Structure 1
Amino acid sequence: MNKTQISELLKKYQEGTLSNEDRDKLDAWYLHKASNSNLQLNEYELEDSYQLLKSKLLLQEETKVVRLWPRIAVAASIAVVLGTGIFYFTQPKEQKVQVAVKPQEIAPGGTRGILTLSNGKQIVLSEITAKDTIAQEGKEDEVTIKMNANGEITYIINPNAAGGKDDNSFNTLSTPTGGQYNIVLADGTKVFLNAVSSIKYPTQFNGDKRVVELEGEAYFEVAKNKNKPFIVKSDNQSIEVLGTHFNVHSYSNESVVKTTLLEGSVAVTHKNQKSILKPGQQSDVSESFSKIKVREVDTEEAVAWKNGRFKFDNADLKTVMKQLERWYGIKVEYHGDVSDVRFSGGTFRNKNLSEVLKVLEFSNIKFKVEGKTVIVYP
Structure 2
Amino acid sequence: MKENEILALLQKYQEGTLSNEDQDKLDAWYLHKASTSNLQLSDYELEDSYELLKSKLPLQAEPKVIRLWPRVAVAASIALLLGTGIFYFTKPKEQIIQVTEKAQEIAPGGTRGILTLSNGKQIILANISAKDTIAKEGEEVTIKMGANGVITYIINPDADASKNNPNAFNTLSTPTGGQYNIVLADGTKVYLNAVSSIKYPTQFNGDKRLVELEGEAYFEVAKNKNKPFIVKSDNQSIEVLGTHFNVHAYANESVVKTTLLEGSVAVSFKNQKSILKPGQQSNVSDNFTKIKIREVDTDEAIAWKNGRFKFDNADLKTVMRQLERWYGIKVEYRGDVSDVRFSGGTFMNKNLSEVLKVLELSNIKFKVEGRTIIVYP
TM-score interval (norm. to shorter)? 0.7 to 0.9
Give the corresponding residue for 2:124. 124
Q: How does 1:166-185 map to 2 (within 5 A)?
A: 167-168=165-166, 169-185=168-184
Measured in 2, the distance between the counterparts of 1:89 and 1:273 equals: 69
Give the corresponding residue for 2:235. 236
Tell me by how many angstroms 1:28 deviates. Answer: 4.7
Tell me by how many angstroms 1:89 deviates. Answer: 4.9
Give the corresponding residue for 2:258. 259
Give the corresponding residue for 2:308. 309
Tell me by how many angstroms 1:25 deviates. Answer: 9.7
Measured in 1, the distance between the counterparts of 2:376 and 2:202 equals: 48
Measured in 2, the distance between the counterparts of 1:27 and 1:295 equals: 50
Measured in 2, the distance between the counterparts of 1:177 and 1:159 equals: 37
Tell me by how many angstroms 1:254 deviates. Answer: 1.0
1:243-298 CA deviation, whole Å, 9 max, x = no partner? 00000000111111000000100000002100000000000001110100000000
1:111-158 CA deviation, whole Å, 9 max, x = no partner? 0000000000000000111110000003xx210000001100000000
Number of residues paired by the alignment?
304
Gaps of 5+ in 1: 5-22, 35-87
Q: How does 1:10-21 map to 2 (within 5 A)?
A: none
**Which residue identity does 2:112 align to in structure 1?**
R
Measured in 2, the distance between the counterparts of 1:246 and 1:98 equals: 55
1:368 aligns with 2:364: no
1:154-211 CA deviation, whole Å, 9 max, x = no partner? 0000001124275231000000000010000000000000000000000000001000
> Over alpha carbons, which structure has the higher Rg?
2
Measured in 1, the distance between the counterparts of 2:249 and 2:359 equals: 25
Measured in 1, the distance between the counterparts of 2:292 and 2:357 equals: 34
Q: Give the TM-score, by structure 2 length.
A: 0.77
Q: Once structures 1 and 2 are overlaid, which stretch shifts more, 285-294 or 162-171?
A: 162-171
Give the corresponding residue for 1:32. 57
Give the corresponding residue for 1:207. 206
Measured in 2, the distance between the counterparts of 1:178 and 1:162 equals: 41
Give the corresponding residue for 1:338. 337
Measured in 1, the distance between the counterparts of 2:158 and 2:322 equals: 45
Give the 3-state SS of the residue equivalent to 2:58 in structure 1. helix
Give the corresponding residue for 2:110. 110
Measured in 1, the distance between the counterparts of 2:161 and 2:127 equals: 30
Q: How does 1:149-160 map to 2 (within 5 A)?
A: 149-160=147-158
Give the corresponding residue for 1:143. 141
Tell me by how many angstroms 1:99 deviates. Answer: 3.5
Q: Does the C-alpha gap of structure 1 residues 26 and 332 become closer, same or farther in structure 2, counting only changes over 3 Å?
A: closer
Give the corresponding residue for 1:19. none
**Which residue identity does 2:282 align to in structure 1?**
S
1:276 aligns with 2:275: yes
Give the corresponding residue for 2:79. none
Tell me by how many angstroms 1:96 deviates. Answer: 5.6
1:74-117 CA deviation, whole Å, 9 max, x = no partner? xxxxxxxxxxxxxx95399x956434221111100000000000
Contact 2:14 2:58 in 1 (8 A): no
Measured in 2, the distance between the counterparts of 1:302 and 1:274 equals: 22
**Which residue identity does 2:182 align to in structure 1?**
I
**Which residue identity does 2:105 align to in structure 1?**
E
Give the 3-state SS of the residue equivalent to 2:304 in structure 1. helix
Measured in 2, the distance between the counterparts of 1:132 and 1:25 equals: 44
Give the 3-state SS of the residue equivalent to 2:326 in structure 1. helix
Measured in 1, the distance between the counterparts of 2:53 and 2:261 equals: 50
Give the 3-state SS of the residue equivalent to 1:332 in structure 2. strand
Measured in 1, the distance between the counterparts of 2:355 and 2:292 equals: 32
Q: Does the C-alpha gap of structure 1 residues 147 and 25 become closer, same or farther in structure 2, counting only changes over 3 Å?
A: closer
Identity %: 80
Contact 1:109 1:350 in 2 (8 A): yes
Contact 2:90 2:96 in 1 (8 A): no
1:48-69 CA deviation, whole Å, 9 max, x = no partner? xxxxxxxxxxxxxxxxxxxxxx
Give the 3-state SS of the residue equivalent to 1:98 in structure 2. strand
1:90 aligns with 2:88: no
Q: CA RMSD in A?
A: 2.2
1:196 aligns with 2:195: yes
Q: Give the TM-score, by structure 1 length.
A: 0.77
Measured in 1, the distance between the counterparts of 2:92 and 2:287 equals: 64
Q: Does the C-alpha gap of structure 1 residues 306 and 3 become closer, same or farther in structure 2, counting only changes over 3 Å?
A: farther
Q: Does the C-alpha gap of structure 1 residues 165 and 304 become closer, same or farther in structure 2, counting only changes over 3 Å?
A: farther
**Which residue identity does 1:31 align to in structure 2?**
K
Contact 1:165 1:206 in 2 (8 A): no
Tell me by how many angstroms 1:375 deviates. Answer: 0.4
Measured in 2, the distance between the counterparts of 1:370 and 1:191 equals: 36
Measured in 2, the distance between the counterparts of 1:24 and 1:166 equals: 61
Give the corresponding residue for 2:222. 223
Measured in 2, the distance between the counterparts of 1:25 and 1:176 equals: 36
Measured in 2, the distance between the counterparts of 1:362 and 1:229 equals: 46
